[in-house]
Amino acid sequence: MMVRESELDFKSMPKIELHAHLTGSISRQCLHEIWQGKKAIGATDLEDPLLIMPPGRHDYDLKTFFPLFSSYIYNLVNDAASVEHSTKSVFRDFAQDGVVYLELRTTPRAMPSAGLDKAGYVRTVLRALDAAARETPTLHARLILSIDRRNTLAEALEVVSLATAFRDQGVVAIDLCGDPMKGDVSLFTPAVEKARAAGLKVTIHFAEAEASASEAELATIMAWMPHRLGHVIHVPDAVKRQISARTGIGLELCLSCNVHAKMIVGSFEAHHFGEWWRVEGPVVVPCTDDVGVFESPLSNEWMLIQKHFQLRREEVLTLARKGIDVIFGGDDEKERLRSILWQERAS
Ligand code: IMP
Ligand code: ZN
């Protein structure tokens, strides 16, 4: 029997989010509040975020998406107060959507005019997550620090040092993200090796665009032995076979982002989720990527999956539970999640 939408309440279903960029997850409303606060004291000349990013506008592609951050959002969220406010707001939004475990990722950003260096930025994010978790103990969060593809090796090594320094405060991994049209990833091999040697986990944006899916780039990344891969779009068959053979590798798939940003050909039913979710070995985890931009919360991603790929109720629950195996949060956290996710009856 196929599941009708009404049979599963995806919002109340306990969910795991493993691929969410902090700044891309800030809601338009939260950005607007930050803007209002700054405007009131003459601290910004920027236009209202609700005009820059009108609600309901999701047609950001690879050409318009990255400049939205570099030329707008980063100029608005540019001090400790706005980083703290937006981090707490992102945490609450995920909690209200029924997320019980969240791995947020962010690119350490110095804000010299606000007296924050990269370490100060990471500390501010971690403190905000801690404060939010005290308010909402049902949601546990961890942090991943991102290397940007445009970084130099020295900058990438700094990200690894920061991740190592803040490990006991909730940083669990490094990521490689940023504009897939830019950069040569082979530059970062020493940084990834250093991260692995320090015991950090590794997740990588993989084959997101044709420009970042050359045979050489994919071979370089596969040789890093990443624990998880994000997107996994433009993958040749030989590399698909390699991924399939890596039992326990996590695949963070982001349907709405890929469809709205036209990163795949066709719509939801053409998404490669359909190809991967039943493959033995890798573990597929539906994720939001940038819910602030694409306005599709994780509950909606699960609804889309169920609608377009006709998963049965038990298949949805089994898939959700499998995600536990690929979190970076440790064994105690896995135990906690098992007790929560197994409460949902598979009948
Ligand atoms: P932040 O790292 O918390 O500042 O989150 C925003 C940043 O995440 C953007 O500036 C990009 O570098 C990165 N990002 C967000 N979405 C994507 C994506 O789909 N692909 C690659 N990078 C991304
Ligand atoms: Zn991403």
pLDDT per residue rounded down to tens, the chain (347 residues): 344 444 689 999 999 999 999 999 999 999 999 999 999 999 999 999 999 999 999 999 999 999 999 999 999 999 999 999 999 999 999 999 999 999 999 999 999 999 999 999 999 999 999 999 999 999 999 999 999 999 999 999 999 999 999 999 999 999 999 999 999 999 999 999 999 999 999 999 999 999 999 999 999 999 999 999 999 999 999 999 999 999 999 999 999 999 999 999 999 999 999 999 999 999 999 999 999 999 999 999 999 999 999 999 999 999 999 999 999 999 999 999 999 999 865 44
Tokens of 162: 């920061």
pLDDT score recorded for residue 7: 66
* Ligand 1 pocket member 175 (CB < 6 A): no
- Residue 100 Cα to ligand 1 midpoint, Å, equals 23
Residue 261 CA: nearest ligand 1 atom is: 19
| Protein residue with its CA nearest to atom 23 in ligand 1 | 178
Which ligand sits closest to the CA of 62?
Answer: 1
Stated as kind and residue range, the H or E segment containing 143 is strand 140-148
The residues near 159 (Cβ < 8 Å, ≥ 6 apart) are 107, 108, 145, 146, 147, 151, 174, 191
Residue 208 CA: nearest ligand 1 atom is: 20
- Residue 179 Cα to ligand 1 midpoint, Å, equals 8
Residue 148 CA: nearest ligand 1 atom is: 12
Q: Best substitution site from 17, 19, 21 to test ligand 1's pocket, by max atoms within 8 Å of Cβ?
A: 21
**Nearest to residue 291, comparing CAs of 145, 90, 42, 14?**
90
pTM above 0.95, yes or no: yes
Q: Best substitution site from 118, 177, 229 to test ligand 1's pocket, by max atoms within 8 Å of Cβ?
A: 177
pLDDT score recorded for residue 1: 39
- Residue 229 Cα to ligand 2 midpoint, Å, equals 10
The residues near 245 (Cβ < 8 Å, ≥ 6 apart) are 281
- Residue 6 Cα to ligand 1 midpoint, Å, equals 34
Which ligand sits closest to the CA of 26?
Answer: 1
| Protein residue with its CA nearest to atom 13 in ligand 1 | 178
* Ligand 1 pocket member 205 (CB < 6 A): yes
Q: Is 17 among the residues known to form the active site?
A: no
| Protein residue with its CA nearest to atom 10 in ligand 1 | 69
pLDDT score recorded for residue 344: 61
- Residue 314 Cα to ligand 1 midpoint, Å, equals 33
In the set 17, 103, 158, 208, the catalytic residue is 208
pLDDT score recorded for residue 5: 44
| Protein residue with its CA nearest to atom 14 in ligand 1 | 178
pLDDT score recorded for residue 8: 81
- Domain boundary assignment for the chain: 15-346
- Residue 344 Cα to ligand 1 midpoint, Å, equals 33
pLDDT score recorded for residue 3: 43
* Ligand 1 pocket member 23 (CB < 6 A): yes
Q: 3-state class of 250 per DSSP?
A: strand
* Ligand 1 pocket member 177 (CB < 6 A): yes
Residue 180 CA: nearest ligand 1 atom is: 21
Would you state the CATH architecture of domain 15-346? Alpha-Beta Barrel (3.20)
* Ligand 1 pocket member 143 (CB < 6 A): no
Over the range 249-279, which residues count as b (16 or more CB within 10 Å of their CB) and which as e? bbbbbbbbbbbbbebbeeebeebbbeebbee
Alpha helices in the chain (DSSP H): 28-40, 49-52, 62-68, 74-76, 80-96, 118-135, 153-165, 189-197, 215-223, 237-245, 255-260, 273-276, 291-294, 298-309, 313-322, 331-341
The residues whose Cβ lies within 5 A of ligand 2, an ion, are 289
